[in-house]
Amino acid sequence: MANPAIVDNLKDKHHRRRKLVESLFVFVCIFATFLGFLSLVLLIVGVAKDGVSVLSWDFISSFPSRKAENAGVYSALFGTFWLMGLTALFSVPLGVGAAIYLEEFASKNWLTKLIQINIANLAGVPSIVYGLLGLAIFVRALSDFTDGTAFGYEGTARSVLSGALTMSLLILPMIITSTQEALKAVPNSYREGSYALGSTRWETVRNHVLPPAMPGVLTSIILGLSRAIGESAPLMTIGALTYVAFIPESPFDGFTVLPIQIFQWAARPQEAFHHNAAGGILVLMAVLIIFNAAAIYLRQVARRRLM
């Protein structure tokens, strides 16, 4: 028989080794978190230091200009509102509806699995690829619709509508995947109890599955729109303008957005335009925070209704 003292000694050494590995892992995690947080703080401080000096009502209410002191983000800000509004209009119903169908109504067969795999793969496709797709389909193939010709309007194919449709393609996989996860988190007992009382599948989904899943659904929408608001590569690919001295009056007009305006200023050699770019970043961050705050408020309201 093994000596009990030796066995206890080996157990003690093994326990100390495990505690050491655990402590090292916790330290690495804390250090990585601190490093990421510190980098974010330094970045925000640097941007704020350069951009606060140009922030004013004139900066927000002025069109772009060749002179840095007269330049503003008015057209880019309105273009961003137009783009986000149309993107949400297209992507939210399609994304949530597709997720509900795939999770609650579609048969679990090879075709459904193939669709799920493709949706998961599309979530990792670089945004520039969606820009090329939007250029080929919305700007060229469907130009009569995206420039308004089919509706008796003379616009441009490189319009807000083309940009919104392209951005909708970009964030649809994220919304679908996240919404499906929210639906999966609802206990099956909710569905079974509803079926036992004679409810149809649609009544079960509408009255007993969607309400508890709504906070997760809103989270998926927040994530999707937060990604879309900061993208510039797909919009530059479809030909969004970099200098716009007007605001869009319809979905068929040309446009620019804050990320493109920021990029255009940052690429200029004059230091004054770099300060404008920093100011534009602060405005973009403020818009993003406002959008997210509104969505988070709606999510909290949905959670309180469940209590």
For residue range 263-272, list pLDDT tens digits in order: 888 888 888 8
Question: At residue 199, does pLDDT exceed 70?
Answer: yes
So what's the pLDDT on residue 93? 92
Query: Residue range 227-239: average pLDDT?
Result: 83
Query: Residue range 232-244: average pLDDT?
Result: 78
Helical segments of the chain, H only: 4-51, 57-61, 74-100, 110-122, 127-134, 143-146, 160-184, 188-196, 201-204, 210-229, 233-238, 258-266, 271-306
- The pair of three-digit structure tokens given for residue 43, joined into one six-digit string: 């970045």
Percent of the chain with pLDDT over 90: 14
So what's the pLDDT on residue 254? 84
Q: How confident is the model at residue 4 (pLDDT cuts 50, 70, 90)?
A: low
| pTM assigned to the model | 0.83
Query: Residue range 58-71: average pLDDT?
Result: 85
Phi and psi based region of residue 8 (left: phi greater than 0; alpha: psi -120 to 50; beta: remaining)? alpha
Q: How confident is the model at residue 16 (pLDDT cuts 50, 70, 90)?
A: confident
Backbone dihedral angles phi then psi of residue 108, each to the nearest 5 degrees: -85, 80
Average pLDDT taken over every residue of the chain: 85
For residue range 72-86, list pLDDT tens digits in order: 888 888 888 999 999
Query: Residue range 3-25: average pLDDT?
Result: 73
Question: At residue 10, does pLDDT exceed 70?
Answer: no
- The pair of three-digit structure tokens given for residue 113, joined into one six-digit string: 């699995």
So what's the pLDDT on residue 304? 75
86 CA to centre of own chain: 14
Q: How confident is the model at residue 61 (pLDDT cuts 50, 70, 90)?
A: confident
Cβ atoms of 147 and 252 closer than 8 Å = yes
Question: At residue 42, does pLDDT exceed 80?
Answer: yes
Cβ atoms of 128 and 237 closer than 8 Å = yes
Cβ atoms of 223 and 54 closer than 8 Å = no
Q: Closest Cα partner for 70 from 255, 245, 294?
A: 245
For residue range 129-184, list pLDDT tens digits in order: 888 888 889 888 888 888 888 888 888 888 888 989 999 999 999 999 989 988 98
Task: Look up the CATH architecture of domain 57-306.
Answer: Orthogonal Bundle (1.10)
Cβ atoms of 255 and 83 closer than 8 Å = yes
212-226, 238-252, 256-270: segment of lowest average pLDDT: 238-252
Q: Indicate the domain borders of the chain.
A: 4-54, 57-306
At 121, is the secondary structure helix, strand, or coil? Answer: helix
Question: At residue 7, does pLDDT exceed 60?
Answer: no
CA neighbours closer than 13 Å in the CB half-sphere of residue 246: 7
